[in-house]
Structures are given as C-alpha cells and as structure tokens.
Structure 1
Amino acid sequence: MSDNLIERISTALESEYTLEGLVRQLLEMLELVTNMESTYLTRIEPDGSFQHILFSRNTRQMQIPEGLSVPWGDTLCKRALDEGKRYTSDVASVWGDSQAAKVLGITTYVSTPVTLADGSLYGTLCAASSEHRVLNERSEQVLQLFAQLIAQQIQNERLLQQLQQANVALTTASYTDELTGLPNRRAVFEELPKLFSRARDEARYVLLAFTDLDDFKQINDVYGHDAGDDFLRAVGQRLKEGVRAHEVLGRVGGDEFVVAGVGPGEFDEAQFAADAFKIRLANLLMGKYQLHSSVINYAGPSIGVIAVNPALTDHDQALREADTAMYLEKERRRDLAITTLNPPK
C-alpha cells in the first residue's frame, strides 16, 4: 500500500464526520486501487428482502445508480457470500443466472461484507466493471480495510445517535412531571417569560390561571393515595386535551396547575376573555371522574384568573397575583358552601 494512499485515508478519517462523506472518499480511492469504473456501498434489509445502493461512484460506461434496490436473492453479493467467492472477472460464466448483473452489464465484480461489531451484516462494499479486470491481493486487502473503516463509522454514528436520544430523553424527563406527564414547575418557569415576551411584542394581554384542586386531601383520605394519584393523572389528561395550542400548561405543585395564554390587546376585551378563560377551565375540570377503584363526582377547583399587561407586569408578579386571586376564589367558594348549608332565616 503506497504512502500516498495511507495519507489519503488518514486525511479522510480526520476530515469526514459523516458516513456519506467518508464513504464517498473511500469509493474514489477504491476506484483507483481496483481500476474499476463503479464502486459502491450497499445496505441489506434486516429481513433479507432487498439490497439498496446507498452510495456509488461511476466514472465510465457502466452506471450503478444510487437508490437502486434489487431483491437480495438475485444479487451478486449474496452469491459471493454464500459461495465464499468474492471476486470474478467473468460474471457471466460464474453467476450467469443473476438478472441484476445482466441488466447492469457487470463483467468483473468484487465485494466484501460490511459486518458490525455485533456480527450483523450491514451491507457490502463492492467494485465492478463492464470489462475483464484482474484484481491483485493488495486491492482485496484495501477493500477489506475500507469495509472495516465503514463499519466503524456506522457504529460511531449509531452510538452518537443513541447518546443524542438519551440526552433528549433526559432533558424531557427534567422538564416533565412524572405523575401526570405535564410540564413541571421548571418547564413552566422557562416558558412563561417567552409567552410574556411574545405578548409584549404583539401589544396583547396575558391570561394567567392558577388552579388549586379543592378537597384533594379529602379524596386522598377517603379513597386512598392511589386514587388520589389516579385523580391527578385524570386532571392532567383533561388539561392536556382541553388546553389550546400555544398555551403554557404545567403542574407547579402537589395539586396546583398553571395555564397561560395570550389574550386580546384591549383592556375590556382582556377582562372579558379572562372570565371566559376561567369558565372554560372550570367546565373542563368539574364533573365525573372514573378512576380505577372508584368514581368521583368532583365539584371543581378554585381558579384564579387574571389578565395582565406584560409591559407593566412580569411573569413572577403575575403568578403571585394569580395565586392571590385563586385564594380569594377559594374563600368565596368556601363561604358559598357554608351559606348553602346554613341558609339565613
């Protein structure tokens, strides 16, 4: 193997960070080493149904196009693997029954499997020509080396993808309430400033609702903590289904939830929208809950809803104001319940 080839391989390994980039450089080098006009990398379906040409290099008459798919059983690659004969300069006499080889006009063919660390067959690295070509031992060694380099790159990309997926899952988990699947307090406090900024840019009010589940402790005491957890999950599901696109939603405490959205731009309209917002959430959360172990007819939560001008009030202050409004609503509901039970004489 010449020093020039070694240098080119080293440069490719240092400069290319994707499978496609590496393979395209290796195919170019493989063409020079084998003196064949078509070099290509294939991918075999895991179920062994088809073989696909992933990347190819064609420099003369014969063309093996990228994206070509042929039944695996009709390929020269499968015959070569099955028979342990990876090279021939007379395809017609050795594998004359291959329709794919006839269509492509392959006379000389060589391939080596691309095998991953777990022993699975990914595909094949091949070179072909429409003319009779003699392949020396050095060329076969280069072919096998390139197949190993490609297998390593595939494994590196898969590992990177797994790490990225794990990172996404970890990030998602850190912003998700484990019980309800809703965004958690951390997520809410990151999304609210963005919503306030958008409303400020659009000169519109923010509608902010702070919700507390009245009688939740009683549900736990009477029906048990498992039922309480079921109830929280059911509340979370109703909120997921009932909250509109672009509204911020999250569980910020044991039985406390926040919902926020952008409202109208005029004060009077925003106050009207806040009232409608409160009614929508109340209707969403009151009513019958069919839990695993029981049925609860829930009278509804205490909801404090405010309409704030984001140019004058930030999200922290707005949350405090909505929390205060929620406690005032809780007192009003409590007083109403007492009055109902003890009507004046």
Structure 2
Amino acid sequence: MSDALLGQISETVASAQTVEQLTRPLLTMLELVTGLESTYLTRIDETAGVQSILYARNSKVMQIPEGLSVPWGDTLCKRALDAGQPFTDDVAGCWGDSDAARALGICTYASTPVRMEDGSLFGTLCAASSEKRPITQEGRQVLLLFGTLIQQHIQRENLLEKLQRANRELEGFSFTDTLTGLPNRRFIFQELGRLFSLAQREGRRVTVAFIDLDGFKQINDTYGHETGDAFLIEVGRRLAAGMRGSDLLGRLGGDEFVLAGLGPAQGQDSELTVAAMRRRLAALVEGHYDLPCCAMDYPGASLGIISADPRQTTVDQALQDADAAMYLEKRQRREARAQPA
C-alpha cells in the first residue's frame, strides 16, 4: 500500500465526522485501487429481508443507484457470505440466478461484510464492474481495511448517539419532579428568569402564585403515604390541565406548587389578574378526589399570589413575596377554622 494512499486514508479517518463523510472518500479510493467501476456501501435489514444501497460511486457505464432496495435473498452479498466467496470475475457463471445482478449488469464482484461488535450484520462494502477484471491482493486488503474502518466509525457514531440520548434523559430527569412529572424547583427558578426578561421586554408584569396544600399531613396520616402521593399527582394533573399555554407550572417540593405567567401591561390594573388567578386556582384544587384507595372532598389550598414588576423586582424577591403572601393566607385560614361556630 503506497504512502500516498495511507496518507489519504489517515486524513479521511481523522476529519470524518459522520459515516457518510468517511464512506464517500473511501469509495473513491476503493475504485482507484481495485479498478472496479462501482463501489458502494449497503445496509441490510435481515428481519425485513431487504438490502439497500446507502452510498455509491459510479465512474463508468454501470450504475448502482443510492437508495436502491432489493430482496436480501436475491443479492450477490448474501450469496458471497453464504458461500464464503468474497470475489468472482464471473458472476453469471457463479451466481447466474441473481436477478438483481443480472439487471445491474454485474460481471465482476467483490465484497466484505460490515459487522458490529455483537456480530450482527450492518451491511456490506462492495466493488463491482460490468467487465471481467481481476482483483489484486492490495485491492482485497484495502476492501477489508475500509470495511473495518467503516464498522468502527458506525460503532463510534452509535455510541455517541447513545451518550447524547442518555445526556438528554439525564437533563430531563434533573429538571423533572419524579413524582408528579412536573418541572421541579431547579427548572422553575431557571425559567422564571426568562419569564421576567420577556415581561420586561414586552412591558408587562408577572403574576406568581404559591400553592400550599392545607391538611396534606393529615391526608398522609389518615390514609397513608401512597394516598398522599396519589393526591399530589392528581393536584399536579389538575393544575396542568388548567394552565394557559404561556404559564409556568412546577412542584417546589412537599405539598407546595408554583404557577407563574405573564400579567397585564404596565399601568393596567393587576388586582383583577390576581383575583382571576385566585378563582382559577381555587376551582382547580378544591373539590372531590377519587383516589385509588379512597375518595375525599378537599377544602382547598392556601394561595399566595402577587403581581411583580420585573423592572423593580427580582425573581428572588418575587418568590419571597409570593411565599409570604401564601403563609399569611395560611395563618388566616387556620385562625378562621379555630373560631367557634
């Protein structure tokens, strides 16, 4: 193998980011080394019984088109694998029963399987010609080498895809409350910053509501933690169902939830928006719950709702104000319940 060819191979392997970027230059080099006019990489779906041409290079009369799919059982690739014969310059005499080879006019054919680490067959790397041509020892070596390089790149690409998918899943978990499936505290605090920035650009206020489920400890003590969890899940579902498209909803932890959204334009009456959100949240949370192990009527939650001006109030201050408003209502509700009838 010449130094020039080795240099080309090395440069191609080093620069290729995808299987296609690796394969196309290798097909060109494979044609130059073997002298066969068509070089191509196939993908084999043994379950569906189909072989498809992924990438192809055709330099003369014979054309093997990319995207071509043929029955796997009719291909030269399967015959070569079954017979353990990777090369022939007499396709008609050797495998004259292949309709696909006859239709494409293949006379000379060489291939090597591309297998994954687990032994599964990804596809084949092939070279073919409509003329009778010998293949040199160098040509066979290059075919085997290129098949191995493509196999390694496919495995590397698959591994990278798996890692990226795993990272996306981990990121999703890191922003998701595992019980309710709602965004968690980390996500809420991050997105509230974006919501405040948007409101400031649009000259609007931000409405922030803290929701604390009164009597949640009693539910746990009376019916058990499984029922308490089911109750939290159902509250989260009801709140999510009542959201506007632009609202931000999440579970802060325990029995506390937060809902935030764009409020009225600066200068408009924000009290009407706060009152409307209070009615909406009360209607969503209060009422009858049919839980897996019991049914109950829930009297409602303590709500701390504020309308923040993003020009003057930080996210942290808005959260503190909503939290303070919620605890004020909680104390008022507790005192009201303690009053004699």
Give the TM-score category using the shorter length: over 0.9
Counterpart of 2:264 in structure 1 is: 264
Q: CA–CA distance in 2 between the matches of 1:96 and 1:315?
A: 76
Describe the superposition over 1:224-259 as per-residue Cα deviations: whole angstroms up to 9, x where unpaired.
112111211222222233323232211112111111
Structure 2 spans left out of the alignment, 5+ residues: none
Q: CA–CA distance in 1 between the matches of 2:255 and 2:164?
A: 33
Describe the superposition over 1:167-188 as per-residue Cα deviations: whole angstroms up to 9, x where unpaired.
1222222222222221111111
Q: CA–CA distance in 2 between the matches of 1:107 and 1:46?
A: 25
Q: CA–CA distance in 2 between the matches of 1:5 and 1:113?
A: 22
Verify: 1:29 aligned to 2:29, yes or no: yes
* CA shift for structure 1 position 53: 1.0
Name the stretch that deviates more: 58-67 or 25-34: 58-67
Name the stretch that deviates more: 136-145 or 204-213: 136-145
Letter in 1 for 2:160: L
Counterpart of 1:227 in structure 2 is: 227
Verify: 1:315 aligned to 2:315, yes or no: yes
Letter in 1 for 2:120: S
1:235 aligned counterpart, secondary structure: helix
Structure 1 spans left out of the alignment, 5+ residues: none
Counterpart of 1:172 in structure 2 is: 172
Describe the superposition over 1:161-207 as per-residue Cα deviations: whole angstroms up to 9, x where unpaired.
11111212222222222222211111111110000001111111111
Q: CA–CA distance in 1 between the matches of 2:47 and 2:230?
A: 42
* CA shift for structure 1 position 16: 1.2
Verify: 1:304 aligned to 2:304, yes or no: yes
Q: CA–CA distance in 1 between the matches of 2:7 and 2:177?
A: 53
Aligned residues of 2:36 and 2:133 also touching (Cα < 8 A): yes
Counterpart of 2:148 in structure 1 is: 148
Q: CA–CA distance in 2 between the matches of 1:293 and 1:283?
A: 23
2:27 aligned counterpart, secondary structure: helix
* CA shift for structure 1 position 69: 1.3
* CA shift for structure 1 position 109: 1.2
* CA shift for structure 1 position 261: 0.9
RMSD over equivalenced CA pairs, Å: 1.6
Counterpart of 1:217 in structure 2 is: 217
Q: CA–CA distance in 2 between the matches of 1:46 and 1:106?
A: 23
What aligned pairs does 1:119-158 form with structure 2 within 5 A after superposition?
119-158=119-158
Counterpart of 2:8 in structure 1 is: 8
What aligned pairs does 1:42-81 form with structure 2 within 5 A after superposition?
42-81=42-81
Q: CA–CA distance in 2 between the matches of 1:222 and 1:321?
A: 33
Q: CA–CA distance in 2 between the matches of 1:16 and 1:279?
A: 59
Q: CA–CA distance in 2 between the matches of 1:109 and 1:79?
A: 11
Change (3 A) 1:118 1:322: same
Q: CA–CA distance in 2 between the matches of 1:178 and 1:46?
A: 39
Letter in 1 for 2:137: E
Q: CA–CA distance in 2 between the matches of 1:193 and 1:46?
A: 52
1:17 aligned counterpart, secondary structure: coil
Q: CA–CA distance in 2 between the matches of 1:307 and 1:249?
A: 16
Aligned residues of 2:46 and 2:72 also touching (Cα < 8 A): no
2:203 aligned counterpart, secondary structure: coil
What aligned pairs does 1:96-135 form with structure 2 within 5 A after superposition?
96-135=96-135
Identity of aligned residues (%): 56
Name the stretch that deviates more: 123-132 or 270-279: 270-279
Describe the superposition over 1:311-345 as per-residue Cα deviations: whole angstroms up to 9, x where unpaired.
11111111111112212322343344445x61xxx
Letter in 1 for 2:94: V
Verify: 1:328 aligned to 2:324, yes or no: no
User: How many residues get paired?
Assistant: 341
